[in-house]
Amino acid sequence: MNDRIANPGTPEPATFARRIESLRGQMARENLAAVLIPSADPHLSEYLPERWQGRQWLSGFTGSVGTLVVTADFAGVWVDSRYWTQAEAQLAGTGIVLMKMTGGQLTAPHIDWLAENVPSGAVVAVDGSVLGVAAARALSDALTARGIVLRTDLDVLDGVWPARPGLPDAPVYEHAAPHASVARADKLAKVRETMRAKGAQWHFVSTLDDLAWIFNLRGADVTYNPVFVAHALIGLDDAVVFVGDGKVPAALAESLARDGVRIAPYADAPRALASLASGATLLIDPRRITHGLLERVPSTVKVVEAVNPSTFAKSRKTAAEAEHIRATMEQDGAALAEFFAWFEEALGRERITELTIDEKLTAARARRPGFVTLSFGTIAGFNANGAMPHYRATEASHAVIEGNGLLLIDSGGQYLSGTTDITRVVPIGEITAEHRRDFTIVLKGTMALSRARFPRGIRSPMLDSIARAPIWEAGADYGHGTGHGVGYFLNVHEGPQVISHYAPAEPWTAMEEGMITSIEPGIYRPGKWGIRIENLVMNQAAGKTEFGDFLEFETLTLCPIDTRCIELSLLREDERAWLNAYHETVRRRVSPHVSGKALAWLEARTQAI
């Protein structure tokens, strides 16, 4: 699980109240009954460049997911249970209402609210350039049924955000061999193979991780994600990347040109779609393109809707990529060993805060070869702070690590050779029997799914209950998914697979060999403590029977799970054996990369139980 707060220096609540009133003035001038501000950009990214962080700028809520709706007499932000505590604190005093979403809701609740509260004949506005096609269809259907007019041609933020940031301008660079083990030309050939199979002459791609993967390029336009803002139109013989002026160095542009890839201005992408020839066939992914862009496609162009070919391809890591990732996990594990060795020696002797943990852990990773940046903002939550899955310490509000309790640390790194994401919980001072019970139950959930064997092609959301079963048996649960896909020096959240009973079990979520996914069940007791134990795993072939092909997980993450927090009486013998075998693997593979105190810590924390 991960999230970030972009700016610890948050303005006072009255600032956001004034911004909402300014928006209402814009609404009155445009004769709008309601405005919807999603957490989205023209690329439907999870984490947004500053230019498109309008929901955060207007409301003060900094979570990565949430939808703001404003009318003349109401303003509310819809968020799920991961963000309830955070949103309640950040919206306090703004006049903006926290609207709680629950996992069992089958439709988007803000859409239902708009349909029920906006009068027939009134106008609801949302910027179509940041609204996904599927979301636009659901919104249009619900509002039209009530006689409400939907307007998608207006970006209200331009009228109320006086110092709105422009497009990011970080340079684009090549992800080169040996880390990029498949050539750009070969990736384009695979994409075109799917295009031909679909009868398409053109394929339009907007999602930034897909673009980075297809063209073996990386950037720094989105914090923690090594991607760049762009679109691409791929033909059967050539391709155009629409990107900001000056972002692609001349030498790289020449290299791209040798592979039949031309660079064009970012603003030209909608015009390129509008210029497609009559009778052409265009392949698009309706889940990964905006309503505004799709509207530019002429009606004489046939549109074929399917999952982006690159979404499937990049999720299935090659054998060479898998080897790079294994090596990356050893380096990341070494960084964690160095950090925890320092932490345990310094605890009680130095003043350590949640912010110190972020600083020291980041420094340990930065010393490792191939490190580029964090893969998300480090979450270090002590006691009650750990009970908020998306907590983030700030200069204004953070805990000192002292006394007794549990410390949760969720962190990760972006390396040229892979992306990491790990959560560990460690004891501080004396911990209670209740702490140990919760920790062990969560561990049982992590182990249960880690040890699972399942049919190839099973839809990933269906695996969620394997991790939850030991937690449900104890009468507990958690409000987030159990696992997300992870990229290869790309986004720490990657599809198409997701292990979550909140997600639909669609065909494209099928589990295939080479996919990397997190396993991260938890238990959170508000005001007390939170526990989450997270490893990354990779799908591996597990043999074939008369019932078909089977897969199993290879655990990639290499860091001890703190046995001081375990209630041993709750573990079965086979569970103890799995944990001992895992710790033996961690010790064997990480120990060559550490020495001194870090090695001593590693040996102590990987002793058999």
Tell me the pLDDT tens digit for each residue of 343-366: 999 999 999 999 999 999 999 999
The answer to the question of residue 5 being in a domain is: no
103 has pLDDT over 80: no
Give me the phi and psi of 374, to 5 degrees please: -70, 155
Smallest CA-to-CA distance from 82 within 64, 67, 58 is with 64
Determine contact, residues 77/66, Cβ cutoff 8 Å.
yes
> What average pLDDT does this structure show over 187-216?
97
Residues 290, 323 within the same domain? no
Please check whether residues 595 and 483 belong to one and the same domain: yes
Report pLDDT for 10.
65
What pLDDT does residue 124 have? Answer: 97
Pairing of strands 418-419, 494-499: unpaired
Is residue 350 located within the same domain as residue 456? yes
8 Å CB contact between 211 and 227 = yes
Measured CA to CA, the distance from residue 408 to residue 400 in angstroms comes to 13
> H-type helices in 198-318, by residue range?
208-215, 250-258, 269-274, 291-295, 309-315
State how far the Cα of 351 lies from the Cα of 359, in Å rounded to an integer. 13
Domain final residue, candidates 256, 284, 314: 314
CA-to-CA distance for 238 and 7, rounded, in angstroms? 41
Is residue 3 situated within a structural domain? no
| Domain co-membership, 366 together with 237 | no
83 — pLDDT class (breaks 50, 70, 90): confident
- CATH number reported for the structural domain that contains residue 65 in this entry: 3.40.350.10
Residues 97 and 67 placed together within one structural domain of the fold: yes
At position 406, the amino acid (one-letter code) is: L
pLDDT (0 to 100) of residue 63: 86
Residues in Cβ contact with 481 at an 8 Å cutoff, skipping those fewer than 6 apart: 464, 498, 499, 500, 501, 502, 503
Band (pLDDT 50/70/90 cuts) for residue 46 is confident
Q: Are residues 188 and 294 in the same domain?
A: yes
pTM (2 d.p.) = 0.91
What distance in Å separates the CA atoms of residue 316 and residue 310, rounded to the nearest whole number? 10
What percent of the chain has pLDDT above 90? 91
Same-domain check for residues 296 and 347 = no
Has residue 7 been placed in a domain?
Answer: no
Q: According to the model, what pLDDT value does residue 80 have?
A: 85
> What pLDDT is stored for residue 259 in this prediction?
97
Token pair recorded at residue 195: 């295009």
Question: Residue 350: inside a domain, yes or no?
Answer: yes
Residue 6 has pLDDT above 70, yes or no: no
Structure tokens at 272: 């390129």
Domain identity same for 155 and 219: no
Q: Residue 527: how many CA atoms within 13 Å on its side-chain side?
A: 0
Same domain, yes or no: 273 and 358: no
Angle between helices 319-346 and 573-590 (to 10 degrees): 90
Whole-number average pLDDT of the chain: 95
Q: Which of 401, 450, 413 is nearest to 334 (CA)?
A: 413
248, 276: one domain: yes
38 and 152 housed in the same domain:
yes
Question: pLDDT at position 55, please?
Answer: 95
Domain of 275 in residue numbering reads as 173-314
Q: What is the largest CA-CA distance in the chain?
A: 73
Structural domain count of the chain? 3
Domain boundary among 257, 284, 314: 314
Mean predicted confidence (pLDDT) in 552-574: 98
The residue with greater pLDDT, 292 or 394, is 292
- C-alpha 206/C-alpha 231 separation (Å) is 5
Give the residue from 314, 346, 376 where a domain finishes: 314
Q: Match 């002026």 to its residue by tokens.
A: 245
Choose the most confident range, by mean pLDDT, from 92-106, 390-404, 591-605: 591-605
Residue 329: CATH number of its domain: 3.90.230.10
Alpha-carbon span 525 to 145, nearest angstrom = 42
Q: What are the C-alpha distances in Å from 561 to residues 341, 389, 390, 432, 579?
A: 14, 19, 21, 18, 8
Residue 162 clears pLDDT 60, i.e. is over it: yes
CB of 582 closer than 8 Å to CB of 556: no
- Tell me what pLDDT residue 53 has: 94
Which pLDDT score, from 0 to 100, does residue 1 have? 41
Q: Distance (Å, rounded) from C-alpha 507 to C-alpha 318? A: 22
Q: What pLDDT is recorded for position 3?
A: 37
Q: Which two tokens stand for residue 105?
A: 């809701």
In a domain, 8, yes or no: no
Distances (CA, A) of 252 to 170, 187, 471: 14, 17, 51
**Residues 242/243/246/252 CA torsion (nearest 10 deg):** -80
Q: pLDDT at residue 7 above 50?
A: no
pLDDT value of residue 578: 98
Q: What share of the chain is helix, strand, coil (3-state, %, to 5)?
A: 40, 20, 40
Helices (H), 118-205: 133-145, 157-160, 184-197
pLDDT at 8: 41
The pLDDT-based confidence of 65 (bands split at 50, 70, 90) is confident
Q: How confident is the model at residue 9 (pLDDT cuts 50, 70, 90)?
A: low
pLDDT band per the 50, 70, 90 thresholds, residue 2? very low
Q: How confident is the model at residue 266 (pLDDT cuts 50, 70, 90)?
A: very high
Angle, vertex CA 141, rays to CA 48 and CA 284, nearest 5: 50
Mean pLDDT to the nearest integer, 236-251: 97
Q: Is 175 a residue whose pLDDT tops 90?
A: yes
Same-domain check for residues 262 and 378: no
Rounded Cα distance between 429 and 403, Å, is: 6
Which position has the higher pLDDT, 324 or 64? 324
Domain contains 165: no
Residue 200 domain flag: yes
Q: What is the mean pLDDT of residues 380-393?
A: 91
